Structure 1
Amino acid sequence: MRVCALYPDLMNIYADRGNLLMLRRRCAWRSIAFTLTAAGLGEPIDPDAHDLFYLGGGQDRDQRLCALDLVRTKREALHAAADRGALVLGVCGGYQLLGHRYALGGEDIPGLGLVDLETVRSDGPRLIGNVAIEVDLDGDGPRVLAGFENHAGRTHLGSGEPPLGRVLKGHGNTGDSGAEGVRRGSVIGTYLHGPLLPKNAWFADWLISAAVGAGDLAPLDDLLEDAAHAEARRAAGA
């Protein structure tokens, strides 16, 4: 599995690095080769060299820096990667940058335009708390993702743009739409962190399988992982 972490030094709030560690370990336990490449400011990326591109969350200042660099040096490559089916996972601030723009006061921060959405910074209360959503990634029936959300932005999906899931508990994209995240093909965005994958081992495995085309993965002893997932759901009230 070849993973490219975008701006891991800047977009790594809320322990998002744990998502990368989770992928590394679950690959290692199955003897699946794993490589991790970091791409920072001013560094171009090869759209054909990676199976998954990961973009975490960051403070507003860092998000501005990364947004400008994404558009200037990485946008075309990420579009090419997504077009060939490479996974793109954006979490929190990274999710916001997958869309067209993030309106922050009187400033428009440009996005990648990989999905049809825009985010507007609200003067209302931040959307904070434990959250659980119901997702159906492959049409095999719903599963639950649980995590933590903390965002002032309200993310509005374009007409016909499907969310990642339906909010069971928590706020989601806008606090009142009932939708959380976005998924267009291999591009996925979500506000769930805390970090996301250690709380949802099944989703980490889904990403691994989708990235390497492995089909059903060898099962692991997930006693602790299942307990972490159950606790995340309990905290959210789901």
Structure 2
Amino acid sequence: MVTVTIGHLYPRQMNVYGDMGNVITLRYRLEARGFKVVYMPVDDAKDLKLTRPDILIGGGGQDSNQDLVQKNLVNNKLLLTSLADDGAVMLMICGLYQLFGHRFIVSDDYHIEGIGLLDLETVAGESRLIGNVVADSAWGRLVGFENHSGRTQLGAGVEPLATVISGAGNNGKTKDEGAVHLNVFGSYLHGPCLAKNPEFADELIRRALANKGLPTELAELDDSLEHHAARIAAKRPR
């Protein structure tokens, strides 16, 4: 039986919006296909030296929690960069998406340093961007819920995850949502993201299997409930 290890970065501090559901979704979709899943909570990023996960998931949190994990994240920048360069699959949502960029600019004299794994920068906005998002991606339509004050601008070193049809996305102006570099994905989509977007979840699984040198063909699952939930969310007004 093939084992897939899912690391969960800062599960206690960065799980305000139910992003643990992304871990649950991946676990279900792997186990339903006969894979063994090992769940690995990562409270200190240096632990990634001992066990290198196939998939690393991170979520959003309050600003105070973001401050708590920022120092640990930056101290382990080289380790996380090494994981990414080796092909590890990562999905970072909201707060950790921002910290995977170069910096979060709170004001002219207060910048929160990121790890620069994603070529992007975030500036604090005067208002929050809140509501359901519908966006087109290479893996079909994505649906999720955004709740962020940061305005993220992508650099030349990343591609957008999706193009916004409805909602704000990265900044409310450029119509891009999220970012992709290598097998590293960032997004503002809560919901949780993968529960409503099974095709995207399977893309992460396929990439993780490919990085292990394994076949990437996946047995079909009944995703009727997931698609129904996505349709309902997409129709709800912001």
TM over 0.5: yes
> Are 2:216 and 1:219 equivalent residues in the alignment?
no
Match of 2:172 in 1: 175
Task: Give 1:50-89 correspondences, 5 Å limit.
Answer: 50-72=53-75, 74-89=76-91
RMSD, aligned α-carbons: 1.7
Q: Secondary structure at the match of 1:154?
A: strand
Distance in 2 between residues matched to 1:27 and 1:65, nearest whole Å? 32
> Are 2:235 and 1:234 equivalent residues in the alignment?
yes
Task: Give 1:21-100 correspondences, 5 Å limit.
Answer: 21-41=24-44, 43-46=46-49, 49-72=52-75, 74-100=76-102
Q: Secondary structure at the match of 2:132?
A: strand
Q: What's the CA shift string for 1:46-76, capped at 9, x where partnerless?
A: 287211111110110110111111011x211
Q: What's the CA shift string for 1:88-124, capped at 9, x where partnerless?
A: 211011110110111123421111110111111112x
Distance in 2 between residues matched to 1:159 and 1:21, nearest whole Å? 33
Task: Give 1:153-172 correspondences, 5 Å limit.
Answer: 153-159=150-156, 161-172=158-169
1:233 to partner: Cα distance = 2.5
Counterpart residue identity of residue 174, structure 1: N
Q: Which runs of 5+ in 1 are unaligned?
A: 138-142
1:236 to partner: Cα distance = 6.3
Match of 1:196 in 2: 193
The 1:217–1:225 alpha-carbon spacing in structure 2 relative to 1, beyond 3 Å, is same
Counterpart residue identity of residue 229, structure 2: A
User: Is the Cα contact below 8 Å between 2:161 and 2:177 reproduced in 1?
Assistant: yes
Distance in 2 between residues matched to 1:65 and 1:104, nearest whole Å? 16
1:205 to partner: Cα distance = 1.3
Scaled by the length of structure 1, what TM-score is found?
0.91
- Select 1:19's aligned residue among 18, 22, 25: 22
Q: Secondary structure at the match of 1:15?
A: coil
Q: Which runs of 5+ in 2 are unaligned?
A: none
Scaled by the length of structure 2, what TM-score is found?
0.91
Q: Secondary structure at the match of 1:13?
A: coil
Structure with bigger strand share is 2
Q: Secondary structure at the match of 1:45?
A: helix
Q: What's the CA shift string for 1:169-197, capped at 9, x where partnerless?
A: 00011111111111111111000012111
Distance in 1 between residues matched to 2:34 and 2:45, nearest whole Å? 33
Match of 1:127 in 2: 129
Q: Secondary structure at the match of 2:49?
A: coil
Task: Give aligned pairs, total.
Answer: 230
Identical amino acids, percent of aligned pairs: 43
User: Is the Cα contact below 8 Å between 2:98 and 2:122 reproduced in 1?
Assistant: yes
The 1:187–1:218 alpha-carbon spacing in structure 2 relative to 1, beyond 3 Å, is same
Match of 1:140 in 2: none
User: Is the Cα contact below 8 Å between 1:169 and 1:236 reproduced in 2?
Assistant: no
